Amino acid sequence: MQVLTSALMIFLALAVAIHAGSLLISIYAARRTRRPVPAQTNAPAVTLLRPACGIENNVAATLESSFRLDYPNYEIIFCVQKDDDPIIPIIQALMAENDHIESRLLIGDDKISINPKLNNLVKGWEEAAHDWVVMTDSNVMLPADYIQYLFSYFDDETGLVCSPAVGGAPRNLAAELECAFLNEHEARWQITADQLGRGFAQGKTMLWRRDVLNNAGGISALASEPAEDAASTKVVRQAGLKVRLMPGPFLQPLGMRDFDEVWQRQVRWARLRRTSFPWLYAPEVMTGGFLPLAVAALLTALGALPLVGLATLAAAWYGGEILLSKLAGWHVSWRSPLVLVLRDILLVPLWAAGWLGNTFVWRGNAMDIADVQPAPAPWFRNSEVREVAGAWRLRINTTYRRWRRWSEERRASRS
């Protein structure tokens, strides 16, 4: 029993340390004051690609924000797959109202992958007039300094700049649950990874230096993975460049949601992550509060942790997430503690669902990720694995020898 208790205590200590570390890193990055970024008069010309499909909550407002950018030289290309899509009249009306901004609507479907969003973007990428291209989902609200804010994170070592998906303006409990998934959980871990130098692409917003993708084979290179952002990460790292993630994200107004919609979206993302990065997906079940707090409850039942300790841990665990949202300017309400607990309860079956299937439906498109053979991650080749393993083996052996020498010296001094 003592061995079990010790093992559980070690697990709990590690979980708390990792959780606290991710919160501190995210707070440090996300609480920086967001100041408007002025556009430079010699700013490079940019093509803004906005794929659209169907009518979403607040879609007219989010698409209209494309025309309100304070940037001297940009064009907008709206991409729609089908000529009977109800979003087309909305786009056409916005273009007519804002004819002082260069914009086009392209309709058609170029099937280069199982990913309908990527297929929808192909025509826009090929028609883009400029060397810098921003791909941004139709449900993202763009601030006036959107483009120059993206550029402010670009440097010589960068191949792609992205932004985490952060939800806001929820109008019911299901939408608040989606905020809890997007904000305090997914955005927090994305920001943490970026701050630790392992940033990865997020498809909501992607600023491409056009030659980086063209050198990898063009937009068709993103068909090597079921998700275009996973493929983008591998393309950029293959080029020896970095993916940068802005800690100050752009709002996705959620409006009304239903629970099945939220669940199915999370299952889709889980299966995509599992397919593209299985070794990173495997430990995801440990990233929520359910397992650590269940272990804490078991320790309380075993008498190794007082009840007040369990209550304090739970309050600190979720209080830290709420503090992050407050400081970052993300959505917080009186229901936040409830939805954070509900989210963590759902993370375990969600993680299992990620392993147990390959199919899902995305905006009416049936997808089977088993049809795609993911490209190997460029940083995970055998030679590199052997090099890293050798370095760790040397480090472990050195530490062990030092411990043995210290132990022998202590025994000698006692005798």
CB–CB of 90/118 below 8 Å? no
- φ, ψ (nearest 5 deg) of residue 231: -65, -40
Nearest to 162 by CA among 233, 71, 72, 98: 233
Tokens 């061995």 found at: 3
171: tokens are 């109008």
Q: Name residue 251's beta-bridge partners.
A: 166
* Structure confidence at residue 231 (pLDDT): 92
Tell me the CA distances in angstroms from 321 to 142, 167, 215, 329, 362, one per residue in order.
26, 15, 41, 12, 30
pTM of the model: 0.80
DSSP character at residue 56 = -
- Please name the residues in contact with 398: beta carbons below 8 A apart, sequence gap of 6 or more: none
Burial of 411 (0-12, 13-18, 19+ CB in 10 A): exposed
Which one, of 16, 23, 71, lies nearest residue 43 by Cα?
71
- Sole residue written with tokens 């407050």: 326
Contact 151, 137 (CB under 8 A): no
Q: What is the pLDDT along the chain (415 residues), one digit of tens a residue?
A: 788 899 999 999 999 999 999 999 999 887 766 677 888 878 899 999 999 999 988 899 999 999 999 999 999 999 999 999 999 999 999 999 999 999 999 999 998 988 889 999 999 999 999 999 999 999 999 999 999 999 988 988 999 999 888 899 999 999 999 999 999 999 999 999 888 888 888 889 999 999 999 999 999 999 888 889 889 999 999 999 999 988 777 888 999 999 999 999 999 889 988 888 888 899 998 889 999 999 999 999 999 999 999 999 999 999 999 999 999 889 999 999 999 999 999 999 999 999 988 877 766 667 777 665 544 444 344 444 445 555 555 566 566 566 666 666 766 666 6
Within 13 A of 143's CA, how many CA atoms are on the CB side?
Answer: 15
Distance CA 92, CA 98 (A): 10
128 to each of 21, 120, 131, how far by Cα in Å?
42, 14, 8
Rounded to whole angstroms, what are the CA distances from 372 to 234, 375, 377?
15, 9, 15
Angle at 379 between CA 377 and CA 382, to 5 degrees: 90
Distance CA 91, CA 104 (A): 9
Classified as helix, coil or strand, 158 is strand
Q: Is 403 exposed, middle or buried (0-12, 13-18, 19+ CB in 10 A)?
A: exposed
C-alpha distances (whole Å) from 151 to each of 46, 155, 158, 230, 330 are 11, 8, 10, 21, 23
3-state SS record for 312-365: HHHHHHHHHHHHHHHHHCCCCCCCHHHHHHHHHHHHHHHHHHHHCCCEEEECCE
Amino acid letter, 247: P
- Answer for the pair 48, 134: CB distance below 8 angstroms, yes or no: yes
Gyration radius of the chain over CA positions: 24
Query: What is the Cα–Cα distance from 181 to 184, expressed in whole angstroms?
Result: 7
